[in-house]
A = this chain, B = another copy of it.
Amino acid sequence: MVDESGRHEDAYEAVFSALAHPARRRVLLTIYFNGGSMAAGEIAAVFSHAWQTTTRHLQILEAAGLLSSARDGRMRIYHLERKRLDLVRDWLAHFSITPDPAKETP
């Protein structure tokens, strides 16, 4: 296991996989620039996909912890979980740890 603890392996997997699809990255940006929360239908309206396709993307994002949701009447409001993106930052931070200088390329 490369990760120092192993605790986040599954989380990394979920988050990085979720971010791999352009529509899902765009969902996150869309919600963010809308103030952090949006109804499923509003989000779906941004895309040319069938709305059921967007539903699945939303579920994947929620399963990855990047969104949370709550029913509000007959709508479902999705809320961006910005903190979850820190997982990506954490992973990137590995590349700031100084590696073994003995092997450093000049």
Chain A residues near B (Cβ < 8 Å): 2, 9, 12-13, 16-17, 19-20, 22, 25-26, 28-30, 32-37, 79, 82, 85, 88-89, 91-92, 94-95, 97, 99-100, 102-105
Contact = CB atoms under 8 A, between A and B. Distances in A.
A91 B2 contact: no
Contact of A20 (B17, B97, B103): B17
Contacts of A94: 29, 32
B16 A99 contact: no
A22 B9 contact: yes
B12 A22 contact: yes
A28 to B, nearest CB: 8
Given A2-B26, A26-B2, A33 B85 contact: no
Contacts of A32: 94-95, 99
